[in-house]
Amino acid sequence: MAESWATLGVDLHLEPTGPGLRRGLTDALREAVRSGRLAPGTRLPSSRTLAADLGIARNTVADAYADLVAEGWLTARQGSGTRVAMGASPTPSGQRGRTAVPPDGPAPRPRTPARPAHDLRPGFPDLSSFPRTQWAKATRRALDAAPYDAFGYGDPRGRPELRTALAGYLSRARGVRADPERIAVCAGFAHGLTMLGTALRARGVRTVAVESYGLDAHWSLLNRSGLRTVPLPFDHLGTDPAPLTDEGAVLLTPAHQFPMGVPLHRDRRAAVVDWARRTGGLVLEDDYDGEFRYDRQPVGALQGLDPDRVVYLGTASKSLAPGLRLAWMVLPPGLAEEVARAKGGIDTCGVLDQLTLAEFIVSGAYDRHVRSARLRYRRRRDALVAAVAERAPGVRATGIAAGLHAVLRLPPGTERQVLRAAVWQDLAVDGIGRYRHADAVVEPMEALVVGYGTPPEHAWTGALDALCAALPE
């Protein structure tokens, strides 16, 4: 008879269903009985134990048990605890979709998959704050001003109006040495990386060094271009470029390491540029959230140190919205032509969005939007840090005051439990593990990556409460 609640807890945590904790737990337990994972006669843990295991209130568990006793799936007797009813039989295999019937009581309601009530996954700005009115006005002005030939097949590097606007903005705000002739517009950072991967491969590059922590989607894009990724070591000074040898390129997030949240130490900034000069390698600088620094002026782009060896990549995905699919690269000499070839010789980004973004930047609307977003995200970060310090003193918020996410270091041995508790709070949040490169040699760590930028304003406080409820006290 299955008595191990540890195993059962994991199974259940994967499939809570329905809105609300009580309903979710009731459905998950019923499903466990119905599918046979909980055999008739199995003794369930006490409501106190299960509540602690799942990080939810004891009453919620007691209520769910009571519901299932009333439905006939469980029995509760003084002295022998709560057990799966002897007559409760699983749905026969091969009859998926048929509903098992409890020994006595009504048939269970079908499960409805639901979006999490609280979303703190990193990688998103607050989509509800997209500046619709200003964007629509900029579109109108851009459309009125566009020459008729703008609607033809364009320069593969993108519209000149946007490249010129970006050159001015990037040199002013990020210290990038930008010439419109060497800027290429792309459909998101991911698209830019794909084109760079193709161009690097065509140059004979086989290996790209990456950070120990990052996005596996980006490593996969490089793999698909025929490039191997090898992770560099990581410590409190950021990614360590010392082991770099003859890799053709290195992909870094120097201003705000993703997801760990530290800036690249100045000695390492110098060292990586030095490596590129010595070996002819390229540095791919992913400046995904460079607009958002809260405690001081952001560190300027690495590209400013050597525009001949560093490719600067920026995106509208954090500052405006990922759905725009608009990003930009500032390329060293020669590479602009190779990227244009990789792009297929035509502009693949919609002209109207490019002209609108150009107008948005030139009119000052972009700066205004970023400044007001910065204020909101800064307040959220401050609230997160304060709430964690007060309600979960064993947990530490790490990284600089920047960006749209923070890493919460957890007490050893608690990450799984916290992630499980988060599910029972109907909260989507990531553990650090999914951001670790498979070949990374780094000290194991337990942490959450919390995307405090993600919820719409009205949902932020609820999401923060749900997070705190899932954290160990």
Residues that bind ligand PLP (CB under 6 A): 123, 188-190, 215, 253, 258, 286, 288, 315, 317, 322, 327
Q: Least distance from C-beta 123 to ligand PLP, angstroms?
A: 4
Identity of the residue, 188 or 399, whose beta carbon is nearer to ligand PLP in the bound complex = 188
Q: What tokens were used for 211? A: 């950070």
Identity of the residue, 205 or 215, whose beta carbon is nearer to ligand PLP in the bound complex = 215
Identity of the residue, 30 or 405, whose beta carbon is nearer to ligand PLP in the bound complex = 405
Q: Least distance from C-beta 266 to ligand PLP, angstroms?
A: 21
Q: CB nearest ligand PLP: which residue?
A: 188
Q: Least distance from C-beta 125 to ligand PLP, angstroms?
A: 9
Strands 81-84 and 406-409: unpaired
Identity of the residue, 118 or 318, whose beta carbon is nearer to ligand PLP in the bound complex = 318
Identity of the residue, 185 or 397, whose beta carbon is nearer to ligand PLP in the bound complex = 185
Q: Compute the distance between CA of residue 460 and CA of residue 377 in angstroms, rounded to an integer.
A: 11
Identity of the residue, 45 or 123, whose beta carbon is nearer to ligand PLP in the bound complex = 123
Using DSSP's 3-state secondary structure scheme, residue 251 falls into strand
Identity of the residue, 156 or 188, whose beta carbon is nearer to ligand PLP in the bound complex = 188
Strands 207-211 and 228-232: parallel
Identity of the residue, 185 or 205, whose beta carbon is nearer to ligand PLP in the bound complex = 185
Q: What tokens were used for 340? A: 């244009």
Quick one: DSSP state of residue 307? Answer: T
Q: Least distance from C-beta 88 to ligand PLP, angstroms?
A: 45
Q: Least distance from C-beta 369 to ligand PLP, angstroms?
A: 17
> Alpha carbon of 97 to those of 34, 35, 111: distances in Å?
12, 11, 11
Q: Least distance from C-beta 469 to ligand PLP, angstroms?
A: 27
* Residue 250, beta-bridge partner list: 209, 283
CB 453 within 8 A of CB 380: yes
Q: Least distance from C-beta 334 to ligand PLP, angstroms?
A: 24
Q: Examine residue 259 and say whether the peptide bond preceding it is cis (omega within 30 degrees of 0).
A: yes
Identity of the residue, 366 or 424, whose beta carbon is nearer to ligand PLP in the bound complex = 366
CB 386 within 8 A of CB 23: no
Q: Least distance from C-beta 288 to ligand PLP, angstroms?
A: 4
* Residue 293, beta-bridge partner list: 402
Collect all residues with Cβ–Cβ distance below 8 Å to 313 and sequence separation of at least 6: 189, 192, 193, 284, 285, 286, 287, 288, 327, 328, 329
Q: Compute the distance between CA of residue 61 and CA of residue 195 in angstroms, rounded to an integer.
A: 52
Using DSSP's 3-state secondary structure scheme, residue 285 falls into strand
Q: Compute the distance between CA of residue 367 and CA of residue 361 in angstroms, rounded to an integer.
A: 7
Q: Compute the distance between CA of residue 389 and CA of residue 397 in angstroms, rounded to an integer.
A: 8
Q: Least distance from C-beta 404 to ligand PLP, angstroms?
A: 9
Q: Is 413 exposed, middle or buried (0-12, 13-18, 19+ CB in 10 A)?
A: exposed
CB 9 within 8 A of CB 55: no
Identity of the residue, 64 or 284, whose beta carbon is nearer to ligand PLP in the bound complex = 284
Q: Least distance from C-beta 258 to ligand PLP, angstroms?
A: 4
CB 183 within 8 A of CB 158: yes
β strands within 410-459, DSSP E: 427-428, 430-431, 447-450
Quick one: DSSP state of residue 468? Answer: H
